[in-house]
Amino acid sequence: MAKSLPVSPLASPLPALGVVPGVRLGAVAAGIRYQGRTDLVVAEFVEGTTVAGVFTQSKCPGAPVDWSRAALKGGSARALVVNAGNANVFTGRAGVETCRLTADAEAGLAGCAPQEVFLASTGVIGEVLSADLITKALPALHASLSETGWEDAARGIMTTDTFPKAAVRKVEIDGVSVTIQGIAKGSGMIAPDMATMLGFVATDAALPASVLQALLTKGVSGSFNAITVDSDTSTSDMVLLFATGYAGNRTISNADDPALAEFRNALNALLLDLALMVVRDGEGASKQIKITVNGAVSDASAREVAKAIANSPLVKTAVAGEDANWGRVVMAVGKSGEPADRDRLAVAIGGVTIARDGTVVEGYDEAPVVEHMKGREIDVSVDLGLDDGKATMWSCDLTHGYIDINGSYRS
């Protein structure tokens, strides 16, 4: 059984969470893996709720990912069932059967088709997930669902997370007030290859599934797809976006409709909030790292350079040790495989330019950089000097804590 972990020093407090009309949630202790804490979460949605989703690009996905991918084709959702502690991955036909039995049981309680039930699991890989533990817990959980169950849900989906993650925004669509609220979990096996963890967002806006999908797909590119903790992509990850339609705004059939500008910006900001909480809860993390790359031959190239820096164990351990070793950043740029010119490269840490045009800046004073490295939020900037491609990614440092957590994950 996993032992409790100290709360991350970068933990973000839960915001004041409200309700999303048309959504009821709850959590219960089903005894799936953990003792003395909730590990099964259900959300039920009003009839007519639309849904969008993005899923892990792992070639070894879990059975719940396959199930939810198939369910997404219908474009509608009535329920979501999430368990923590067991990922239901590499469990063969037993895993598929657990998904079927879970969806059937929840569908009976929610009064919908099993294909309108979305499933997600997170936890240990390769252990059979008992359907009985879930289906026996569902009736009581269904009876306890509440519009105010968001915090319980956020806590119920945690694994090695040290704090619950949630965010909320209130905006308008054509003068109609709408709410966007979401929760997420994730702290390890996090790499930007959508998706990178579990995230569930709901809104009372009235939006068709096609518009939701366009908004979510684009929104994750600068949030969940721009973070990395350890360069490992999970088998189980997904982000789902639900829209209940309760707000009653006019029908919008195009994601680029100007009426959605405020909503789009708010959704993107909320997704980034949740993604950064995942980074700030990186297993063993003590510092957040922001990597900005400019001057690349394209945005895609800048992204690969930023990813090489963000994933570098040498960069991450230098940050952990508060060592202003900018040579490791240069190393990571060079290994990225992307176009780069040593004699055009510029590197800055904490806003202080250290190297430019192939050498150290004349008169460089390391003192302010050393001071910056002592902080909780580290900024690394690279200018390749080639063109106008740019990208930003976020990561965290690599400490002994990461080894301690993952060396005993199953024990």
Q: Binding site membership for substrate: which residues?
A: 159, 185, 196, 283, 406, 411
Structure tokens at 309: 């820096």
Q: Would you list the DSSP string of 40-101?
A: EEEEEE-TT-EEEEEE---SS--HHHHHHHHHHTT-B-SEEEEEEEE---S-HHHHHHHHHH
Task: Name the 3-class secondary structure at 177.
Answer: strand
CA–CA separation, 167 and 146 (whole Å)? 18
CA 311 to chain centre: 17
CA dihedral 176, 177, 178, 181 (to 10 degrees): 170
DSSP count for the chain of H helices, then E strands: 11, 15
CB of 221 closer than 8 Å to CB of 307: no
CA–CA separation, 218 and 210 (whole Å)? 13
Q: Would you list the DSSP string of 223-253?
A: TGGGB-SSSPPPSS-EEEEEE--TT-PPP--
158 beta partners: none
Rounded to 5 degrees, what angle do the CA atoms 109, 113, 114 make?
Answer: 80
CB of 197 closer than 8 Å to CB of 84: no
DSSP-derived secondary structure letter, 273: H
CB of 234 closer than 8 Å to CB of 274: no
CA–CA separation, 322 and 362 (whole Å)? 23
38 is catalytic: no
Structure tokens at 243: 């829209």
CB of 90 closer than 8 Å to CB of 126: yes
Helix axes 327-335, 299-311, angle to 10 degrees: 130
- Report the candidate in 19, 21, 185, 26 with the shortest Cα–Cα distance to residue 109: 26
CA dihedral 58, 64, 68, 70 (to 10 degrees): 80
CA 347 to chain centre: 28
401, amino acid identity: G
- Of 38, 179, 196, 233, which one is the catalytic site residue? 196
Active site residues: 196
